[in-house]
Amino acid sequence: MSKLRQIIRTSYCRYYSVQQAKKKLPIISCKRPEFNHYEGQTYSKFEGVKLASKSWLHPKSKGDYFVIYGDANKKEDKEVYKKSFEEIGVSNQLIEVMSSQGFSLPTEIQTKAIPSILKGNNTVITAETGCGKTLAYLLPIFQHILEWKPNINEEFNSPLAVVITPSRELATQIGEVAQNIAQSLNLNVTTLVGGKTKQKMLNPPIEYCDLLVTTLGAYSKLVTTGIFKLNNVHHVVLDEADSLLDDSFIGKVSNLMKKFSIRYKVEIQTPPVGCQLTLVSATMPHELPETVTSFVDPESLKTVTTSNVHRILPHVPQKFLRLGKAHKPAELLKLVNTDMNLKRPVMIFSNQTSTCDFVSMFLNENNIECVNINGQMAVALKQGKFEMFKSGKVNVLSCTDIASRGLDTTRVQHIINYDFPLYTADYIHRCGRTGRLGSAQDCYVTNFIAWPREIQQVQKIEASVRKHTELPSVNANIKRLIEDRVVRMVESGAIRRAA
């Protein structure tokens, strides 16, 4: 009898807690309200987590949807966040520059990262997209350069700090942000990207620069040929470090980084001794590749992060819509027409270049002006099209993941994932193109879900939000993931071995 009472009491307590939670707005709102999820709601370990997307592999589920409004487990360190630039050690000269550009207080990640970098620590900055990571490392670097410069013998092509990126678009963007600050400080910023590397080797540039922003490939070649010198470099930043530490880049990165004298900790003196390292990304893997030990002591890396890293952005609603593949064009046209009526800039992501091209042609044929960019385009054409979107000449951009990382897209109010990404890191970066620092308040993400692998990925994301855990498998080493998947398919007989 006592056992029966205990079961009844447990059931009543669970029912009461759910009813209390339902007085609040749902964190996950579903087409079928019985699957709504509320703040404070938990799930029995015996029953498991009830997912709205659990039945989505069945064809009859088409038309179902749910919307995630944020992670209720989000926590902010309000005491840290309220600190001023002065309190975290930023110089008056830089505070004046920030004030003139409309920045009165540092963001959470800036509050945590700037003191670490100013002290000379090798630092890993891991924070959600659009939260101000670029300024989190640029401000302390400029402050160091201002201190060092009067006591260092300047040489041409010999910067004091270098920011390395995986893409030309990101290098160009960071260069623009750095230049806006540097021009008020009488410092020189140079942006170096690939495309004309051979011309630079034949006709080397001769210029003085304090900060160099560059792509990995172009810089590696010009360092190897001796055109750019390393003796004055006292700070190296790897921006989008998870991509640069991917198997696709790590060999080249390791060979380049070994040429810098990276210390356990740089003694901040004038002139400085040694070189400091900063790694930056929104999706840093929990374990760095072993190759990193070839150029830095892992124990020297101080990690600074925020409570929202590897989680659904709490301020951007994200709708997951189950569709048949044949229904996607019509749904896209309906959504984009609404965006255009509201004058709301939109980015549309596809997994393949052919789909990206189709989306652009389809919308243009339906009298919606759309430009597209993908990795197979010539650099000049790609940059020109993105500039059209960025400047407001066009409000619809169709793209592949080439546009998902690092680009500052504060105009964007709506992200449409026409194809749902198959890797969590890609989903985080795509969503991060909206809801950024300086973006409008009413930003939104819409996801089309059509294929079994997409459904499986959505189920993992939904479960992580309901359980208040980090998003699953945030690993940007896409090349390794693909290779492992192929190996598993071969071993299981899904792919026949070559004779």
What does the pLDDT look like over 449-471, one tens digit per residue?
A: 999 999 999 999 999 999 888 88
pLDDT of residue 196 exceeding 90 = no
Domains in the chain, number: 2
pLDDT of residue 493 exceeding 60 = no
The percentage of residues in the chain with a pLDDT greater than 70, rounded to a whole number, is 85
**The pLDDT of residue 491:** 46
More confidently predicted of 435 and 394: 394
Amino acid occupying residue 37 = H
Residue 177 lies in a domain: yes
Are 161 and 258 in the same domain?
A: yes
Dist. CA 258–CA 263, nearest whole Å: 11
Are 235 and 347 in the same domain?
A: no
Q: Tokens for 132?
A: 């101000």
Are 300 and 319 in the same domain?
A: no
Q: Taking the CB of residue 365, how many other CB atoms lie within 10 A of it?
A: 9
Are 295 and 327 in the same domain?
A: no
Give residue 406's pLDDT band: very low, low, confident or very high (50, 70, 90).
low
Residue 492 lies in a domain: no
Residue 490 lies in a domain: no
Give residue 206's pLDDT band: very low, low, confident or very high (50, 70, 90).
confident
Last residue of one domain, picked from the residues 305, 323, 351: 305
Are 210 and 178 in the same domain?
A: yes
Are 59 and 195 in the same domain?
A: no
Are 286 and 424 in the same domain?
A: no
Are 195 and 131 in the same domain?
A: yes
Residue 391 lies in a domain: yes
Are 202 and 219 in the same domain?
A: yes
Residue 498 lies in a domain: no
Last residue of one domain, picked from the residues 283, 305, 327: 305
Dist. CA 67–CA 308, nearest whole Å: 18
pLDDT of residue 49 exceeding 80 = yes
Residues 236-264 pLDDT 10s: 999 999 889 888 788 899 999 999 999 88
**The pLDDT of residue 56:** 97
Mean predicted confidence (pLDDT) in 384-394: 90
**The pLDDT of residue 496:** 44
The CATH number of the domain holding residue 27 is 3.40.50.300
Residue 142 lies in a domain: yes
Of 69-73, 149-153, 287-291, minimum mean pLDDT range: 69-73
Mean predicted confidence (pLDDT) in 289-317: 86
Give whole-number Cα distances, 69 to 26, 27, 315, 353, 404, in Å.
Answer: 8, 5, 7, 31, 21
Across 43-67, b (16+ Cβ under 10 Å) vs e yields: eeeeeebebbbbebeeeebeebbbb
* Total count of residues recorded for the chain: 499
Residue 235 lies in a domain: yes
Are 476 and 349 in the same domain?
A: yes
Give residue 417's pLDDT band: very low, low, confident or very high (50, 70, 90).
very high
Give whole-number Cα distances, 454 to 60, 226, 337, in Å.
Answer: 17, 47, 25
pLDDT of residue 279 exceeding 90 = yes
Are 445 and 325 in the same domain?
A: yes
**The pLDDT of residue 481:** 47
Last residue of one domain, picked from the residues 287, 305, 323: 305
**The pLDDT of residue 6:** 58
Domain residue limits at 367: 20-73+311-484
Are 161 and 227 in the same domain?
A: yes
